[in-house]
Amino acid sequence: MRIALFGRTGQVATEVQRRAPDGVTVRAIGREEADFTDPDSVQRAAQQVEAHAVVNAAAYTAVDRAEAEERRQRY
């Protein structure tokens, strides 16, 4: 089984990659490959992996900074 994992360097994404069981290939996709502000780039990245499942672990999580920079928080 191949999983396209959006988010690569974050806390959750890192742990998902580390704990993937045998038989499960996790392909982590970082923001330089799939820009969440550009839906086409996300679709291309997921297609390249030919994934059976998509896990979205990409998010903007710093609440205090989100209050100052709402624009990025949306993606």
- C-alpha 41/C-alpha 6 separation (Å) is 12
Question: What residues line the site for other proteins (CB under 8 A)?
Answer: 39, 67, 70, 74
Instruction: Identify which of residues 14 and 73 has a Cβ nearer to other proteins in the complex.
Output: 73
**Least separation, in Å, of the C-beta of 65 and other proteins?**
13
Residue 19: CA count within 13 A, CB half-sphere: 6
- C-alpha 62/C-alpha 20 separation (Å) is 26
**Least separation, in Å, of the C-beta of 67 and other proteins?**
6
Which residues, 6 or more positions from 71, have their beta carbon under 8 angstroms from its beta carbon? none
Instruction: Identify which of residues 32 and 67 has a Cβ nearer to other proteins in the complex.
Output: 67
Instruction: Identify which of residues 35 and 70 has a Cβ nearer to other proteins in the complex.
Output: 70
